[in-house]
Amino acid sequence: MDIDPIGDERGFFARTWCREEFRAFGLSSVVEQSSISFNQKRGTLRGMHYQAAPNEEVKLVRCTRGVIRDIIVDLRAASPTFCRWFAVDLTADNGRMVYVPAGFAHGFQALADQSEVFYQISEPYRLEMARGVRWNDPAFQIEWPISDPILSVRDRSFPDFAGKLERSLLSK
């Protein structure tokens, strides 16, 4: 999503969220929470995160300082894009945003020191519903720009998605 700036000699004004416009495009227009992620070092990778049903999140993500590569992965088993990923570079200068639908895992990698990311989220964060898939899971083959990222212990320890899929199929 790109902003539509209205500019003059002072700079510009741009709307980044409008309930009516989102509804007109069939997008979720609920915002329950806003969050900021500050990333001290280039190479920091956060992801791939999602919340389990019934608390699946929709997110609108912007980079307000620095540069990030934002990536989403479709985890909806019935979707024609199941297990496919999409990437976009978000910068403070380009003002672009990513809409992350429910049922997608989300992550990003900072491509500059001191990068900051702003989220608008449709559901309150619930620790007990927080889930993730591994950033380098072979099921997705995500192409990250920096191959040796800075990761949290939690993000490094997510299990293979194929294993999760097999367990869920066996439980049915």
The pLDDT tens digits for 15-45 are 677 677 777 877 777 788 999 999 999 999 9
Range of the domain at 58: 6-170
Q: Report yes or no on 132 lying in a domain.
A: yes
Number of CB atoms found within 10 A of residue 25's CB = 9
Q: Report yes or no on 127 lying in a domain.
A: yes
Q: Report yes or no on 1 lying in a domain.
A: no
Q: Report yes or no on 28 lying in a domain.
A: yes
What pTM value is reported for the model? 0.86
The total domain count for the chain is: 1
Q: What is the CATH number of the domain that holds 83?
A: 2.60.120.10
> Which residues are part of the catalytic machinery?
49, 119
Q: Report yes or no on 148 lying in a domain.
A: yes
Q: Report yes or no on 156 lying in a domain.
A: yes
Q: Which residues pair with 12 in a beta bridge?
A: 7
